[in-house]
Structure 1
């Protein structure tokens, strides 16, 4: 017997009520663990992997066999922003006109809930087709560091396929490849002096402007074009420096965001940036340093991989509209899980829509319910091959 729709909504609503805004994922893990605890007599294995106090990844493994299918969803959400701009309480699921509203409804507690419900249905019906592992992660929105931790500790090793329930434009898109991310921070250290005597100081902003000017043509040299993802992109997004108008600035900072493609592994970009900084530091008085914040590799993929083709087939049987395999410009936990031992395809599709990170974020209720059936059927046929 399958879980009734009211109970499905109750699970999603409970997840939304937990304020896991870039923190507090342990409470989400507590709730998910409580859902699977009653099935431990069926061999369910539950592992908690703490990233930091109050921030727990959760791994739930059901079934058995040599072949393993991975499910994944992240426990955190972005900030609700100005709650007064919402039509309803962002942390109280509200259904109106066939949509369920709340922070995380699209990204991605609806997808996480659907995976959980699919697995519980399999357990309730004693119909687990093979070994399935649910990877619930912390910190996806701020750097995928939960997925990095689980991968490092071996929880992604041995997968034969991985489905991440990231919002897929209401289950109409399967992401199979994505750009990577490099966030860099360059700091320039100078020497403060009165602006009337600039010869007594070292202007940190001047030196940083040299970096800013030279890094643009440097990044433009990475001009290969991926047929799906397009070109590597580079944006200088933050520039800060100085303390007052009549002083030579002693410190300045620039931050930039690069979206990489599989043709350029992150290390190649690191090498180019590091060399530019080193070359500038050869000049008298220059003191630049660079660091990187949670870089993510581009995720290569094959739209003709058996997992993608299987998901397209199942989608045609459950949903009325078409589905397409696409490349994505944003990074996800897949950028970390791809480092797990083994050769496996990664696919991203979930019931969430394009309201993620927005005021009045929502998910279509009917799509959410159908996504549960989708994940169950994909799992059944995955192990039938």
Structure 2
């Protein structure tokens, strides 16, 4: 942070303490665990108008600073829910203890993404109190990002629409850096769809295979086709699409029975070459061909996690790149790597960029974040806010 900006913004609110307090909240998705209550209490104390936007048992928080229609509206989106810890005996520390060892804070959610929420909340507090901007800040925090619930961030957006609230730009605080903080930000994500396949034949005795129709060879061949085929070679903005086999199941307890049915699940990550409908048609065409060849029936259902989306580089992404460079000395690459995020819900609302910590330990045992990274991320967020509200245009 430059001396001029450091003087203008009094950074008294500690993001590390807030991160630790959030990690101690056992908010395993979709349990709220007290994390949103903690944020609501803190932000309300500092002049933010906080509203719980809970829907169908899912907890969400929308905190707004500023009013009227003057100036820009900056939105931040994050989540306080975390994935399960797995086997607690595999951890070298209390998963919800927020222990700090050798400058590293440990605990579930330390990386994904309670540090980012803490960094932005404290940055926003310090920023509006030191130099109140001509505009509005919105913090849209969900308690159910990890479940991909339609009652998480989409519920907040529905509430905002009902209130006449609209952000001009949204920053999502997911871990985006690859090896060191500031080396990458995201301006898009591949789409994701999971396909659940069922192959049905005719059950029979394994000693008389001619009297049965074994569905397993058909399933094996179909999965081989999926593995051998190439969806695409990638595009200017995205890596190649991928199809991954995640389960194969027969549920057959007997050694001498040809099963009537077997199942498999595949997860497909697709780039901007495809829509989910086109991907499903691609799967169906191959399944139909195999079914005809093997004399079986192949049916499927699917779960769409999100379509591929992309925010073209522009003024907002450049502003964030410049802020990161000022604080870290490096210009982050614009990437579309990784899985899905709640940015997919926001992209139709306004331009979206994702910028956050390194993600080396997210969802792992002994998830952790360097304390220095939390401070750096807060500094980046303060500079983003400063530059956003102090430039005539983007």
**Alpha carbons 2:216, 2:262 under 8 Å: kept:** yes
Pair 1:301-2:319 in alignment: no
Q: How many residues align?
A: 374
Matched, 1:354 2:360: yes
Conservation of the 8 A alpha-carbon contact between 2:197 and 2:301: yes
Provide the C-alpha distance between the structure 2 equivalents of 1:151 and 1:179, rounded to a whole number of angstroms. 23
Partner of 1:382: 388
Give SS of 2:282's match.
helix
Q: Does 1:19 align with 2:53?
A: no
Corresponding residue for residue 72 of structure 1: 77
- Inter-CA distance 36–148: structure 2 relative to 1 (3 Å threshold): closer
Matched, 1:150 2:155: yes
- Three-state SS of the structure 2 residue aligned to 1:310 is helix
* Equivalent residue, structure 1, for 2:219: 208
Cross-structure match for 1:4: 12
Describe the SS at the equivalent of 2:187: strand
2:269 matched to 1:263? no
Summarize the alignment of residues 1-385 of structure 1 with structure 2, pairs less than 5 Å apart.
2=10, 4=12, 7-25=14-32, 27-39=34-46, 42=47, 44-50=49-55, 52-53=56-57, 55-64=58-67, 65=69, 67-125=72-130, 127-143=132-148, 145-147=150-152, 149-150=154-155, 153=158, 155=160, 158-169=166-177, 170-216=181-227, 220=230, 222-243=231-252, 244-277=254-287, 286-303=296-313, 305-340=314-349, 344-384=350-390, 385=392
CA contact (8 A) 1:108 1:352 kept: no
- Kept in 2: contact 1:281–1:288 (CA 8 A): yes
Contact 1:87 1:360 in 2 (8 A): yes
CA deviation string 1:231-254 (max 9, x = no partner): 111122221114122111122111
Q: Is the 8 A contact 2:59 2:144 kept in 1?
A: no
C-alpha separation between the residues in 2 aligned to 1:145 and 1:182? 16
Deviations 1:198-243 (A, max 9, x none): 45544332342343244446x52x3242124221111222211141
Q: Is the 8 A contact 2:186 2:334 kept in 1?
A: yes
CA shift at 1:13, angstroms? Answer: 0.9
The answer (yes or no) to whether the contact 1:232–1:258 under 8 Å persists in 2 is yes
What is the CA-CA distance between 1:73 and the residue it aligns to? 0.9
Query: In the TM superposition, what is the alpha-carbon distance from 1:271 to its structure 2 partner?
Result: 2.3
**Distance in structure 1 (CA, Å) of the matches to 2:175 and 2:300:** 34
Tell me by how many angstroms 1:83 deviates: 2.6
- Between 1:291-300 and 1:88-97, the stretch displaced more is 291-300
Q: Say whether the 8 Å CA contact 2:276–2:304 is kept in structure 1.
A: no
**How many angstroms apart in 2 are the aligned matches of 1:154 and 1:276?**
42
- Cα RMSD of the aligned pairs, angstroms, is 2.8
**Whole-Å separation in 2 of the counterparts to 1:258 and 1:151:** 28
Mapped partners of 1:103, 1:60: distance in 2: 24
SS in 2 for 1:25: coil
Where does structure 1 lack aligned partners over 5 or more consecutive residues?
A: none
SS of the residue corresponding to residue 133 of structure 1 reads strand
> Which secondary structure does the structure 1 equivalent of 2:37 belong to?
helix
CA distance in 2, matches of 1:187, 1:238: 12
Q: TM-score, normalised by structure 1?
A: 0.86
**Higher alpha-carbon deviation: 97-106 or 17-26:** 17-26
SS at match of 1:108: helix
Q: 1:148 to 1:367 in 2, by over 3 A?
A: closer
| 8 Å Cα contact 1:61/1:131 also seen in 2 | yes
Work out whether residues 234 and 257 of structure 1, in 8 Å CA contact, stay in contact via their aligned partners in 2.
Answer: yes
